[in-house]
Structure 1
């Protein structure tokens, strides 16, 4: 035992007490005072720099200055964002997080900026960190739910719940491995399921790559949880960037992938397979008698695909992709020019347009009518690299399709059969219940053209840029070829006289097509909004009522002014009314307001082409240019969103865009409404005045399958559900309630009211009781809105002609209910986000 009394030769030197530094203290004090003065004068950039200096020199002040520092950071970030200084914005957040690394509010705010800029993976990381620091932080939770919809799309859950699809992939992989494919690369691994199938089948080496950071981290967790972390190497990168031996030690004998979208090639499978064949895969098998050793040859699962298509008539597709009406809200649309959605396909690639969109044909409201039989558009062999490389240079193929039913040509619908190997395949057809939708190629050039039995539709099929492109180009009728891109008059196509119709079509070919038409692209939701006549007519009536009421008010004021010598009172008796439209995207509401007379309207439309459309419509509808102004063109001068007109008088009406197309209340709606109320003149109005939320109880297995991996059994024997189900979101959006597979278990009931005109009438929590009309499992509460433009005039987002979709809260645990039982719903609103919980009442009660 050492001598306890012996003194160590080198004892620890006593720490010298920190002496105050007067110069440092003076700098801290003066900088703090300067920061507060700059904050008071709204010089947020300078205030931020002073706060950084203070908190770096005197960390002891962090708690004291936290709230002021946060406020300064957020205001300065808003300014940087507004002028496009994005790098400076993120630099400021990085500096803030160095000072406050565990501040959930700053983490959440930075995540919001990242998400708006398109950095979804990074945004999710910040929201997740904020939730770990404070699990009950509602803003971070709502933001995480919002970003989760982007990062882990709903088809992941459907795919993992598709037991038939999973078994077929597993069997194809197992057979390939047993036949000698001993080394495997899983491209776009997602949850890692296909790579784990290969390992379970006995593959010696398995590699996987995933570009999404979120899905990469998820796959790593899943593989580790299934005891394969040492035997499957997962790379966070694109397969196009992979090299041998840098990333994987040698070429593999099998590539498995499911990087196919509804249009087959949209996720880049052609490019990734060409690269794989040249750099990552062993050479393919040459013939029956060559390369008997399968381990020395390469192959791909899936082995290939067959693409099918047919022409369809569908009003739902039509109204989202082209103008279907001649008048909107009393305005003639004749001068609008060519309006179409950004989805337009031609044999010549156009980077500004998408070649197709996607829909689940079986769920389209109003259904669809096939105008032709399905035809084979393309066959592709993924195990033939020469065929893959030659795809983009293939000559355009012309296919003639006999028309089987009369109808308006609205689109070409496309699906495919994925051949996993020689024996097994998967179909994405409209009658199949799979995780895939169908690709839709909307028809713009054949506006309103009616196909008839006996016609032949000529379709061109090409793959110029490795996207599958299908384009209807002409119709053969009675031996005459009618080019659809020259067909501009939608009226003659309905002529009951075939000879007159043909003559009109041929005459159309002789017209001078050299003049360039005015052309403008609108988003699909904006096009559907333009076609929503009921909404615009309701607005027109409600605004006319308001203007009429205000005119009466000013007539009375003018009579008073005649006896008032005060010039300020006389000035306020002006009969001009000012209307501000702060709608998102393209909106005709400002022009409809300007058409009322005695109204100057301020439009929120930003895009130059869209402003030109409104100007043309104004001229053609005899609306003076002075009556319409694009207020966002002057935001640098006005410095703010909801600004007063450049006069004493306030706004007569402010139009707010309250509901997102997806079916959710717009973020910060109530804050905008609060500001708008302060800017209204006496008797002025916010449109809409209030929003009533309605909902009902339903049983829907479809919503469950789209929300989470279901059941207690592991997927193909693998533990995946607990990891991907972390990304389950409680609210499903973009629903068509009219076609949703579900059983109604109650009548509809009013859930909530948002009053935009009266802040005192609002609340954040409400309990509603409703009675089950049928027995079943309550799995979800779909909800929609009645939007009241004033106290009497309303439109419903449940209307089939609405441009809005519906949403639904999906319960974490379904509730068993008997007919006649009462269910209590707790409905909460937090910053425009609605949440609903449900439980069964033990005793009967009365509806609230």
Structure 2
């Protein structure tokens, strides 16, 4: 998880002059050790003095001494000790002294092992640094100590999304998939596969299927600590803890006889992602065949008798693909506009997402992303018929080992439908055995999405019926890689990597000057080379933001209004054209997360010096080029993070006593949640504004709707009272159910609307007095049904008149939804009371039917 861009300290320093209420009794009990009492007293005074001097490291050492020597001071000093620990940890974090930071937390927890606030803070540091399993343990301990501790609960929900991904619930709710796996395992065991290894066991369901089918020995391995512990609980609850040995280990590290006593006759696994090979199934199966599995069926022993053999479920797979046109994919992966907020983008060079299936793979590039094609807003158009891209036999070790060295395969595909080439969509059929298979195709309702290989090497290339698309398929680094490389049109090849510089005409005319043609071709080559070197990568959400023209035009209009008003005020009510003198510059600070053009939009107003939060050097170069090409002086754009040595330097004044004319806060995460600590940041920002200055946005209105959605239920928890394949799994994995679903597309969510949209909550960033912590909203039901969730989105007001919506067709934001713990049955005309609370970035909703029948029209 990316660390917060800055911290805002909202807690006040505890009263260091306070004295314990029962100090006389304490002294009376300890008269027998005056030296100790003197040391405790002097250390406590030293700790308090160090706090006043902001010498947190020394204060922490003194508090450790006091609390170790005099545990009776714990209640009195607990608040000050926490404050000291947190401030010292911030310093250590900013200095990169991470081991010392964790040492301090461990020392603190030795003294106060049941302090839920310290446990939660320790978890936050671990989570930010990528130790998700460990973080979950600390959040869980804090919640056990105080179940209603909101910070720990929110953190646990956040980490639960990482540790137990939502597809686990979908998979366990997919009865067809579960039954097919169970039947395939049962057939294999009954045919003689008596020893089984489940690789990547997850909840342990496949291993339990093997044991239930009669396997004599069952082993399982799981790399995730959380899922390993969950599988152990599930296996124990189902009475198989003595029958299934589960290892917290990667299968590649397993050996015979260290981990399992001998080779097994059956490996079962479902370590496949949307791109089939992305979870490392090829590497794990090669290792299994060499070290953990009995030889395949074709091998015979030296006496000519058939030896014991091994096999794998699934037995293999067939991969399918097709070319598609899809505006939603396009806007997330390449620049689709020539102008953003009045700024020409011509000089910015090549900008695209980090998802690229090039023939020469780079570490910084992912070969594919994933989407559920059936739920993409605006849909998609198939430009070719589906074709077979690859077949693989998991029971043939030679084929597995030769996969990465396979020659690149070129496939010519007839174009059946005209349209813009945006991506190659990929899915597969998983062959469990000779008779049974599972499909992950776009028409199927499964837990898998499809793999998307975006095309961003060419701009707006339109395929025509009669064209032939040439696709390359390879597995160079054990990833399945597909890329469209050329189009065959009228007997001529058009290479997609430079089609923008060479578009052959329908009736080509010979060039009378071949030398000039050669020079032109070389110039194009040099241009393409330069662009590839200077290309800038943006995250998919940042690309969508860059393509969001409504968002940028709204900001431009709001900034123009504010700056014009401030210029009039600055010049005594008389507006002046052009740039004011240097001393009259207005200062705008953009603290948006990631890539943002808003600083350049502000600087383009004239008389404004803008400060950008963009950190990456290539992205800064893009903004500099953009400013230069649009006539903005380089002195009017500054990247202030280049000058800030620690994270607490943010939101400082621009120079001397000068205050900010405008501060742009990034308020909504791409996933659909309010940014963490938004209101604390807004509170600090208000103190740094000049008179008449403005925070953008000034307020956020949260809208929501009552819906019935079985899809959200299936993605939230294992449904139903019946055990999954007869196994008791739901109570254990449902501990990781989170009440708020993120990254939703409400426009394509399968649901029934049971009400009109309603205003749920308002956050005012400019006026703290108008804010509240909870609100009751009454919503009239328009259709009978079961309320299962409340999707919500935002109307973001930049000022009183100009706003942008997170629900719009071109929005770069997704939506979120609160899923109710129990569905609420309603009839048309009922009134539902929603108690809405916002705690930090988490919105919670409690729904109940109104008892009275009085109309609230």
Q: Normalising by the residue count of structure 2, what TM-score does the alignment of the two structures yield? A: 0.92
Superposed, which structure 2 residues align to 1:616-655 within 5 Å? 616-636=625-645, 639-655=648-664
Can you list the C-alpha shifts for 1:765-805, whole angstroms capped at 9, x where unaligned? 11111111111111110000000000110000000100000
Q: Distance in 2 between matches of 1:692 and 1:177?
A: 58
**165, 174, 190: which one aligns with 1:153:** 165
Q: Distance in 2 between matches of 1:114 and 1:326?
A: 43
Q: Distance in 2 between matches of 1:626 and 1:332?
A: 20
CA contact (8 A) 1:662 1:734 kept: yes
The reply on whether 1:724 has 2:733 as its aligned counterpart is yes
- Does the C-alpha gap of structure 1 residues 557 and 254 become closer, same or farther in structure 2, counting only changes over 3 Å? same
- Does the C-alpha gap of structure 1 residues 293 and 800 become closer, same or farther in structure 2, counting only changes over 3 Å? farther
Q: 2:277 maps to what in 1?
A: 265
Q: Distance in 2 between matches of 1:289 and 1:48?
A: 70
Mean CA deviation greater in 179-188 or 332-341: 332-341
CA contact (8 A) 2:94 2:646 kept: no
Q: Distance in 1 between matches of 2:726 and 2:746?
A: 35
Q: 2:803 maps to what in 1?
A: 794
Q: Distance in 2 between matches of 1:292 and 1:160?
A: 44
The alpha carbon displacement at 1:83 in A equals 2.3
Mean CA deviation greater in 291-300 or 425-434: 291-300
Mean CA deviation greater in 191-200 or 615-624: 615-624
The reply on whether 1:520 has 2:536 as its aligned counterpart is yes
Superposed, which structure 2 residues align to 1:610-689 within 5 Å? 610-636=619-645, 639-689=648-698
**RMSD, matched Cα:** 2.1
Aligned length: 815
- Which blocks of at least 5 consecutive residues in structure 1 are unaligned? 1-16, 560-570
Q: Distance in 2 between matches of 1:471 and 1:510?
A: 25
**428, 442, 452: which one aligns with 1:416:** 428
Q: Distance in 1 between matches of 2:618 and 2:671?
A: 25
- Does the C-alpha gap of structure 1 residues 468 and 796 become closer, same or farther in structure 2, counting only changes over 3 Å? same
SS of 2:644's partner is helix
CA contact (8 A) 2:568 2:574 kept: no
The alpha carbon displacement at 1:809 in A equals 0.5
The alpha carbon displacement at 1:667 in A equals 0.6
Mean CA deviation greater in 40-49 or 587-596: 40-49
CA contact (8 A) 1:265 1:467 kept: yes
Mean CA deviation greater in 684-693 or 612-621: 612-621
The reply on whether 1:330 has 2:346 as its aligned counterpart is no
**508, 515, 535: which one aligns with 2:551:** 535
The alpha carbon displacement at 1:511 in A equals 4.1
**744, 759, 762: which one aligns with 1:750:** 759
Q: Distance in 2 between matches of 1:121 and 1:393?
A: 36
Q: 1:568 maps to what in 2?
A: none
Q: Distance in 1 between matches of 2:259 and 2:626?
A: 59
The alpha carbon displacement at 1:29 in A equals 2.0
Q: Distance in 2 between matches of 1:702 and 1:646?
A: 53
SS of 1:685's partner is strand
Superposed, which structure 2 residues align to 1:209-288 within 5 Å? 209-286=221-298
Can you list the C-alpha shifts for 1:180-217, whole angstroms capped at 9, x where unaligned? 00000000000000000000000000000000011001
The alpha carbon displacement at 1:842 in A equals 2.4
Superposed, which structure 2 residues align to 1:28-43 within 5 Å? 28-43=40-55
The reply on whether 1:711 has 2:727 as its aligned counterpart is no
Q: Distance in 2 between matches of 1:271 and 1:292?
A: 31
Q: 2:14 maps to what in 1?
A: none
Q: 1:80 maps to what in 2?
A: 92
- Does the C-alpha gap of structure 1 residues 21 and 169 become closer, same or farther in structure 2, counting only changes over 3 Å? same
Q: Distance in 2 between matches of 1:192 and 1:617?
A: 54
- Does the C-alpha gap of structure 1 residues 619 and 573 become closer, same or farther in structure 2, counting only changes over 3 Å? closer
Q: Distance in 2 between matches of 1:544 and 1:345?
A: 42
- Does the C-alpha gap of structure 1 residues 501 and 153 become closer, same or farther in structure 2, counting only changes over 3 Å? farther
The reply on whether 1:169 has 2:169 as its aligned counterpart is no
Superposed, which structure 2 residues align to 1:458-469 within 5 Å? 458-469=470-481
Can you list the C-alpha shifts for 1:521-564, whole angstroms capped at 9, x where unaligned? 111101100000000000000010001111121122799xxxxx
SS of 1:714's partner is coil
CA contact (8 A) 1:347 1:396 kept: no
Q: 1:11 maps to what in 2?
A: none
Can you list the C-alpha shifts for 1:22-73, whole angstroms capped at 9, x where unaligned? 3333322222222112211222122212212222222221111110110111
Q: 1:135 maps to what in 2?
A: 147
Q: Distance in 1 between matches of 2:108 and 2:750?
A: 49
CA contact (8 A) 1:159 1:434 kept: yes
Q: Distance in 2 between matches of 1:404 and 1:85?
A: 60
- Does the C-alpha gap of structure 1 residues 637 and 815 become closer, same or farther in structure 2, counting only changes over 3 Å? closer
Q: 1:594 maps to what in 2?
A: 603
Q: 1:769 maps to what in 2?
A: 778
CA contact (8 A) 1:182 1:295 kept: no
Q: 1:440 maps to what in 2?
A: 452
Q: Distance in 1 between matches of 2:306 and 2:324?
A: 45
CA contact (8 A) 1:308 1:414 kept: yes
Q: 1:391 maps to what in 2?
A: 403
- Does the C-alpha gap of structure 1 residues 294 and 755 become closer, same or farther in structure 2, counting only changes over 3 Å? farther
- Does the C-alpha gap of structure 1 residues 247 and 644 become closer, same or farther in structure 2, counting only changes over 3 Å? same
Q: 1:58 maps to what in 2?
A: 70
Q: Distance in 2 between matches of 1:788 and 1:847?
A: 27
Q: 2:367 maps to what in 1?
A: 355
CA contact (8 A) 1:486 1:509 kept: no
Q: Distance in 1 between matches of 2:546 and 2:137?
A: 38
Q: Distance in 2 between matches of 1:403 and 1:279?
A: 46
Mean CA deviation greater in 403-412 or 200-209: 403-412
The alpha carbon displacement at 1:348 in A equals 2.1
Mean CA deviation greater in 285-294 or 69-78: 285-294
Q: 1:375 maps to what in 2?
A: 387
The alpha carbon displacement at 1:845 in A equals 3.7
- Does the C-alpha gap of structure 1 residues 726 and 161 become closer, same or farther in structure 2, counting only changes over 3 Å? same
Q: 1:304 maps to what in 2?
A: 316
- Which blocks of at least 5 consecutive residues in structure 2 are unaligned? 1-28, 512-516
CA contact (8 A) 2:325 2:419 kept: yes
Can you list the C-alpha shifts for 1:577-634, whole angstroms capped at 9, x where unaligned? 1001100000000110000011000100011111111111111111011101111111
Q: Distance in 2 between matches of 1:304 and 1:502?
A: 52
Q: Distance in 1 between matches of 2:307 and 2:98?
A: 51
CA contact (8 A) 1:162 1:435 kept: yes
Q: Distance in 2 between matches of 1:457 and 1:21?
A: 89
Mean CA deviation greater in 102-111 or 447-456: 447-456
Superposed, which structure 2 residues align to 1:451-530 within 5 Å? 451-489=463-501, 498-499=506-507, 511-514=523-526, 515-517=529-531, 518-530=534-546
**534, 538, 547: which one aligns with 2:563:** 547
- Does the C-alpha gap of structure 1 residues 147 and 637 become closer, same or farther in structure 2, counting only changes over 3 Å? closer
Mean CA deviation greater in 230-239 or 548-557: 548-557
Mean CA deviation greater in 789-798 or 506-515: 506-515
CA contact (8 A) 1:185 1:206 kept: yes
- Does the C-alpha gap of structure 1 residues 180 and 605 become closer, same or farther in structure 2, counting only changes over 3 Å? same
CA contact (8 A) 1:822 1:845 kept: no
SS of 2:285's partner is helix
